[in-house]
Amino acid sequence: MSQAATRGPAQKVLLAIGTRKGLFLATGSGADWEVTGPHHPMTDVYAVAIDTRRETPRILAAVTSEHWGPSVAVSDDLGATWSEPEHAPVAFPADTGAALARVWQFAPGSVDEPDVVYAGVEPSALFRSEDGGRTYELVRGLWDHPHRERWVPGFGGMAVHSVLPHPREPDRITVAMSTGGVYVSSDGGASFTASNEGIKAYFLPDPYPEFGQCVHKIAQHPDRPDRFFAQNHHGVYRSDDGARTWKSIADGLPSDFGFPMVVHPHLPDTIYTFPLVADGMRFPPEGRCRVYRSDDAGSTWTALSDGLPEGGFWTAVMRDAMCADDADQAGVYFGSRSGEVYAGRDGGEHWSQVAAHLPDVLSMRAAVI
């Protein structure tokens, strides 16, 4: 079926946009959007989630204030009001000797565990909430892993930035970090195994180590949970065996460097990324704004550009600044480091601008409301 196939009238979508100076919320049912904000002004919002497992979606925002430090803000009325716990909702136990820098990722658990939410944080660790994302406890299985003392920061820090709970098996959790790579648990977080076979770390003496890869983002489709996709620090990969082994799918892209990786909500073979020239040249090739889509799990790629800037786009899209909604006719969205936000409401065939001149976009999530 064509990405642009008509599936009925456009549904109303909530788009949450986390920036370096607060959270913006956009709502729209077509090409027109109403944008509110900044909510939580002058905070870094590295992670945002829209938890649709309840009657009214719950918005979770990781807010980091230079004065007050990191916290989690929760809204159960689509951003009209917000609440934060009196005490730090995500905090390392005293015996770890660690302090939270920021939350990089929220991941609601399976529908069978409606109050479970995971948080990936900096320094690299995983936390679990059992009260819908209001308070969290450290997942010791990852923190106590013998590899941890040899994980090192990437250019943007040392953080668990991707958390993928299995959609049907609550004991299976997959995470990714920079640098460290991909780790998988099959016992509810009691233990984790490095799962990086085939992912290259060209900057290490052994280019195919057990761990130490600078994975930028991983994605998984809920209807095919043993298939994963990864955007690496120079490398684009697919796994068909539950993230145990990986193979390159970078052929056909203008570059194998980038940050985001997004899976279409209804089409398990359809994925999106936003290539940059290289680690030392973090611009789109030729300054052209292009989203690349594959409809065959990475065998071939198509540049999507209708409605996007033809040139002079000397900015970038970060690892969590691209997302898809769950509409019947799915939309794809991305935000740039220069504050432009674009929507492709027909799977990315055509794009329109949602907002401009926002602060640096760090994170985005979208959902039908």
Distances in Å between the Cα of 319 and the Cα atoms of 73, 92, 201, 259, 364 are 21, 25, 18, 4, 10
Residue 226 sits in which domain range?
Answer: 13-368
Give the pLDDT of residue 154. 83
Q: To which residue do tokens 């390392």 refer?
A: 92
Compute the half-sphere exposure of residue 249: CA atoms within 13 Å on the CB side of its CA.
Answer: 26
Residue 100, pLDDT score: 98
Q: Write the pLDDT tens digit of every residue in 124-171.
A: 999 999 999 999 999 999 999 999 999 999 888 899 999 999 999 999
Q: 209: exposed, middle or buried (C-beta count within 10 Å: 0-12, 13-18, 19+)?
A: middle
Question: pLDDT tens, 259-275?
Answer: 999 999 999 999 999 99
Rounded to whole angstroms, how far apart are CA atoms 203 and 213? 9
* Digit-coded pLDDT (tens) for 291-337: 999 999 999 999 999 999 999 999 999 999 999 999 999 999 999 99
Closest CA to 131 of 99, 151, 108, 149: 108
**Would you say residue 175 lies in a domain?**
yes
Q: State yes or no: pLDDT of 107 exceeds 60.
A: yes
**Cα 113 to Cα 129: distance, rounded to the nearest angstrom:** 11
pLDDT for residue 288 is more than 70: yes
Answer whether residue 228 shows pLDDT above 70.
yes
**Residue 6 belongs to a domain:** no
pLDDT at 2: 41
User: Is the bond preceding 89 in cis, omega lying within 30 degrees of 0?
Assistant: no
Residue 6 has pLDDT above 80, yes or no: no
Mean pLDDT score, 18-35: 94
Residue 37 is assigned to a structural domain of this protein: yes
DSSP 348-360: TSS-EEEE-S-S-
Q: Residue 156: what pLDDT?
A: 84
CATH of the domain at 225: 2.130.10.10
The average pLDDT across 212-222 equals: 96
**Distance between CA atoms of 57 and 63, rounded to whole angstroms?**
19
Closest CA to 153 of 127, 177, 120: 177
**What is the average pLDDT across 335-345?**
97
Of 48, 43, 44, 5, residue with least CA distance to 26: 48
Let me know if residue 347 belongs to a domain.
yes
Q: Is the pLDDT of residue 30 over 80?
A: no
Predicted pLDDT at 5? 42
Per-residue confidence (pLDDT) for residue 4, from 0 to 100: 42
Residue 135 to residue 242: CA distance in whole angstroms? 30
Whether 5 is in a domain gets the answer no
Give the list of residues 6+ apart from residue 211 with CB closer than 8 angstroms, or none.
147, 150, 151, 180, 181, 183, 194, 196
Rounded to two decimals, the pTM is 0.95
Q: Could you tell me if residue 245 is inside a domain?
A: yes
How confident is residue 55, by pLDDT bands cut at 50, 70 and 90? confident
Please give the mean pLDDT across all residues of the chain.
95
* Averaged pLDDT, 184-196: 98
Whether 3 is covered by a domain: the verdict is no
* Matching residue, tokens 């056909």: 252
137 pairs with which residues across the strands? Answer: 128
Paired strand residues for 237: 230, 248
Q: Looking up tokens 């940050």, which residue turns up?
A: 259
Q: Is residue 122 part of a domain?
A: yes
Taking CA 47 as the corner, what is the angle to CA 277 and CA 269, rounded to the nearest 5 degrees? Answer: 60
pLDDT at 8: 56
State the total domains in the chain.
1
Give the CA-trace dihedral at 255, 261, 264, 265, to 10 degrees: 180
Q: Where are the alpha helices (DSSP H) in the chain?
A: 140-143
Supply the Cα-derived Rg of the chain in whole angstroms: 19
Contact 18, 45 (CB under 8 A): yes
Q: What is the pLDDT of residue 7?
A: 47
Strand 13-19 vs strand 215-221: parallel, antiparallel, or unpaired?
unpaired
Report, as an integer, the average pLDDT of 212-234.
96
